[in-house]
Structure 1
Amino acid sequence: MGRYERQTCLPDVGLAGQKHLETAHILVVGAGGLGCAALPYLVAAGLGRVSLVDGDEVSLSNLHRQVLYKETDINKPKVECAARHLRAINNHCEISSHYLNLTPKNVSALCDNVDLVLDCTDNFAVSYVLSDYCYRESIPLVSASVLGFNGYVGGFCQQSPSLRAIFPELPQRAQNCSSAGVMGPAVGTLGSIQAQFALNILLQLQPSPLGQLMSIDLRNLRQSSFRFDMAVEPSFEDTLHFIDFSDIHKDDWIVDLRAVDLQTGTKRSEAENGNSDPIIQFVTLDEFRQQKPRPKSEQRAVIACKTGLTAWRAARILQQYWQGEINLIAMGEKPLKLP
């Protein structure tokens, strides 16, 4: 036990706590900046098993904040590089990697038999899919978000409220690290706090991080924290849910808000996406707001975009004049073709 003696000497850990960590299995979704900060501490602490999920590759612009990677990792899958570096930190930790994106379709399989989930993504849809699943299955979820100099870490689900209870609506103006920028140490700080939240939960320390949200502003060197144990879950009817593209029905009313190709600036059409029958409507959010399209009364509305944010906004517009079922899809850059 010499490897862990500096933490086992803590009364809050001890040999019994260390044994508990060695039997724990956590899922880390996102091997970007937050994951790169949290993962080395979790693996070094002696966790028994860590599963990594990420469908992205390392790029040069990642390296200022994703400090687990090296220049030689560029253009390689993040999960494979991360697993290799983490095994070099602690070869007693069993590490499995999944080079794919988490979706509503695979969330159940990926979360199977895990004791805790870390949401280290930069994707609204993935965060809500994880929260919905963890809340339903009573799995503790530690979720974080960071932008610029600011961010938060929260402990959700299991016996505590979900992410939706604190953030029932997406922000009207939302950006990500790619569009708005981020400071590397801010990401590292939030990721490290995520790791500590996870260890405290696994060790059953009190007060529990579940039901706690901590915010940090490293531009002005401030932090705050509050508990949300009594936060009310939104009703199912008031929430918007994400589905997998394979769950589309042939009779659905489908809108793809990625109507403009960001690389070429040209308008997408049904034909170029492989659809000879214009079942899918390609419009921008502004066109959706102006034209106010609507499904037939018996149809289900399915609205797609890249990250889920624009689809969420369009869904709220549609709800103002149509009362049917609405589902959302975050497609990334993949064309939306009917199965």
Structure 2
Amino acid sequence: MADGAARPPSHGNKPVSGPTAGRLGNWLEDYLDHLGVERGLSPNTVAAYRRDLTRYLRHLSSRGIDDPSRITTADVTSFEEELSRGDASHKALAPSSVGRAVVAVRMFHGFAAREGLVDHNVAAALHPPRAGKRLPKALGVDEVARLIDSIERQTPIGLRDAALFEVLYGTGARISEALSLDVDDLTRVLADPDGPLRVVGKGNKERVVPLGSYARSAVQAWLVRGRPALAERAREFTPALFLNTRGARLSRQSAWEALRTRARQAGITADIGPHSLRHSFATHLLDGGADIRVVQELLGHASVSTTQIYTEVTAQQLREVYSSSFPRAHD
């Protein structure tokens, strides 16, 4: 495609426009297509790369650069510095967010070098800042029970939220994985009392997870007494398991907001995130004596080292209990 030619949107997003249009914008669109089509990354992941790299291209544009071959290591380094200190239009980012953007830029330049757009990767030596280790925030067992049990089940939305939270906590699924489920996925599972649930995770990898009786009961109630009422409002048919008030597939943002709202209503003061129930699932399994390799498989982690962070959560909890309960823990 010729430089500056119009390009169709990639993965449901608009192409870069304004100061980053043209050759740099085309380079970005080619890279995002590569991530989504060839590497099979999820739309959410591709969207995150788009946000970071669009900001990077605008940084380059502000320095008068519109050609990939003109970018130097100093230009890349100045972008990292800008992220850390912030500017007139963006506040300073946390080290973890800076690190994510730095990795995105380094991979972006690696792609350009492989494709022959530039002679070499000027960001090859760039390394993300070292961030402090953040432990996952898990709810206590009693908090999870209070969160779910406090939901009224006389309304379609109440039935939906109860079913969604039971699936998230009962399987350890990511919110995006749960929201991608269709009715047929659960109909097959509910027909078999011991049937496992299949979820599709990162990199389009499928894994099998058990579906406990609490989740089965909540999903069954949602399908029979809740979902039909919302499905009637849809403009067109959708196979989605979880629906919004308009009868369309529930979005990740709406699901997260529902979780935070229900937590407040249940009197839970802990900081709630989109993966709070997933973190709770893993922590409670390990607290109950589950083997870490089993938890790794259930979570869909490629490496057990990712799962090991939950053992640190458990150890931290043990230290806190010891410190607050043992009479000679402190002077």
Q: Same fold judged by TM-score > 0.5?
A: no
Q: TM-score, normalised by structure 2?
A: 0.29
Structure with higher Rg: it is 2
Q: TM-score, normalised by structure 1?
A: 0.28
